[in-house]
Amino acid sequence: MKKAAHLIVVYFITLCVSTLITAFLYMIFQSCMQMVAADTVQIFSFYYFRAGCMVCFPFAALFALLVQVISAIRNQNSSLLGFLVYLFFTLFTWLLLLPYVIASTPESYLQEESRSPQKLSTKLFRVENTIPIYYLDANADGSYQVLYIKKDIFMAFPIVEDFSYVSYSAPFYDPLLETSVGYPESIKKPVSMVINFYEAALKAVQSGKGAWLRFASVGLSIFALWVFAGASRWKMVNVFFVSGMFIFLFVLHIGLYTSFQIHMIIEKMWQHAPFSFVSSLYVPVIVHSFFSLLFFLLGFIKRFKKIKVGGAE
């Protein structure tokens, strides 16, 4: 009973804390995108914080589900009650919370904001596409008087003047801030995946209940990860296995929705396969059903073995 209650508490605490942290970082990021270096820093914006809460909430909810499993591993909670609690929260998250929050997120939070024309600070270097550009002065029409340093010019003067340079940097208004706050190379891919996931989820929500159910099929295979909570006697192995599978399923799901290669393979398979009577829209459902069945099967075999051996974990 106590352990089941613990699972409930873990879910809500994780949800709240991770939503707040990610929303806070989202707020900083969004503010920085609009900022100009050397200006006074205006970070705290309730608008962006609210937007951050709405946008990051679905991910925090998914994370909370993972933390529930990890918490179950820690407490060696493989009781029926724990299972039911986890089932409830999976259904609650995937069928109620996520579609509701995603649907009710105002569109203005998701669209790239039209930037209010600001002047970039001058007398500073900005490196754009590896070319250092010195901003001398701002013109009235929004362009700048700049000096490029062209490193590959050997024979002529490598410092070239441009009187009407327009800075096209995106997503940051000021490329200087991108060096501080922009995504480092190492996390660009994971971040773009997260964004793809959100876009696919949003599309599914907007396309109706059927589309959302198909999208939410990933919840099924993630749910099945519960069976690994007590799979190994080394809890750490369980944690890494479950987290790794969680990431794998997440990435696979994004691939099913966005990857061109995977779509090509599916199209080809569908042409030759005997199950072409099913629409290829149901591929994610089939894939995730397969994985969940596989996981459950593995889990039951493990449990069966354990009972047979008579060892208690």
Q: Which is nearer to another protein, 212 or 295 (CB)?
A: 295
Q: Which is nearer to another protein, 38 or 281 (CB)?
A: 38
Closest CA to 313 of 228, 220, 210: 228
- To another protein, the closest distance from the beta carbon of 312 in angstroms equals 7
SS3 120: coil
DSSP 93: I
- Tell me the one-letter amino acid at 120: L
Q: How far is CA 215 from CA 88, 92, 185, 244, in A?
A: 19, 15, 29, 21
- To another protein, the closest distance from the beta carbon of 269 in angstroms equals 29
- To another protein, the closest distance from the beta carbon of 12 in angstroms equals 20
**CB of 117 within 8 A of CB of 142?**
yes
- To another protein, the closest distance from the beta carbon of 313 in angstroms equals 7
Q: Which is nearer to another protein, 236 or 271 (CB)?
A: 236
Q: Which distant-in-sequence residues (6+ apart) come within 8 Å of 283 by Cβ?
A: 256, 266
Q: Which is nearer to another protein, 86 or 212 (CB)?
A: 86
- To another protein, the closest distance from the beta carbon of 263 in angstroms equals 26
Q: Which is nearer to another protein, 126 or 288 (CB)?
A: 126
**CB of 35 within 8 A of CB of 45?**
no
- To another protein, the closest distance from the beta carbon of 293 in angstroms equals 22
Q: Which is nearer to another protein, 243 or 280 (CB)?
A: 243
**CB of 64 within 8 A of CB of 81?**
no
**CB of 269 within 8 A of CB of 283?**
no
Which segments within 129-216 are labelled E, that is strand?
131-138, 144-149, 159-165
Find the helix or strand (DSSP H, E) in which 127 lies. Answer: strand 124-128
- To another protein, the closest distance from the beta carbon of 162 in angstroms equals 12
Q: Which is nearer to another protein, 113 or 161 (CB)?
A: 161
- List interacting residues with another protein (CB under 8 A): 1-3, 21, 25, 28-29, 32, 37-38, 41, 43, 73-74, 76-79, 123-125, 132, 134, 136-137, 145, 147, 149, 151, 154-155, 157-159, 161, 176-177, 179-181, 183-184, 186-187, 190, 232-241, 243-244, 247, 312-313
**CB of 82 within 8 A of CB of 3?**
yes
DSSP 142: S
**CB of 281 within 8 A of CB of 266?**
no
Q: Which is nearer to another protein, 96 or 187 (CB)?
A: 187
- To another protein, the closest distance from the beta carbon of 139 in angstroms equals 10
